Every structure is written in C-alpha cells, then in structure tokens.
Amino acid sequence: MLPTGATVVFADVDHRRGLCPHAEAYYEEELSLPMFPALTDADVDRVCETLVEVLR
C-alpha cells in the first residue's frame, strides 16, 4: 500500500517525506501482491514464478 503522499489523489497536499516515518518505513519493506477478481490462473502462475525467482 502506498503512503498517502505517494498517491496521485493527494498530489496537491503537502506530504513531505518524514511526516509519517512508520508508514514510510512499512512502504519500503512491504510486499504487495496483485489481488483482484479478473486475475487469471495464468496471472497467478506468473506472480508465483516471479516471486520464487526473486526470493532465490
């Protein structure tokens, strides 16, 4: 999940780096996987294969 300041919706709001250090630290370390109803089995396979490659 993106920190508020990194989203287009809040582009006009002054969200300087360092205002939310915990959220920013989480964003730097978290892993977002695609999850949505139109995700096909082939998409899931590709995500899994890519994840395995990255974690090696």
Q: Which structure tokens are listed for 56? A: 């090696």
* Residue in the structure block whose two tokens are 């089995």: 41
Beta carbons of 4 and 15 less than 8 angstroms apart: yes
- For residues 16 and 42, the model is more confident at 42
- For residues 52 and 32, the model is more confident at 52
- For residues 11 and 21, the model is more confident at 21
pLDDT tens column, 24-47: 888 888 888 999 999 999 999 999
pLDDT (0 to 100) of residue 14:
73
- Per DSSP, helices labelled H in 1-56 are 21-29, 41-55
Is 0.75 surpassed by the pTM of this model?
Answer: no
- Measured CA to CA, the distance from residue 20 to residue 10 in angstroms comes to 14
- Measured CA to CA, the distance from residue 35 to residue 55 in angstroms comes to 20
Domain boundaries, the chain: 4-55
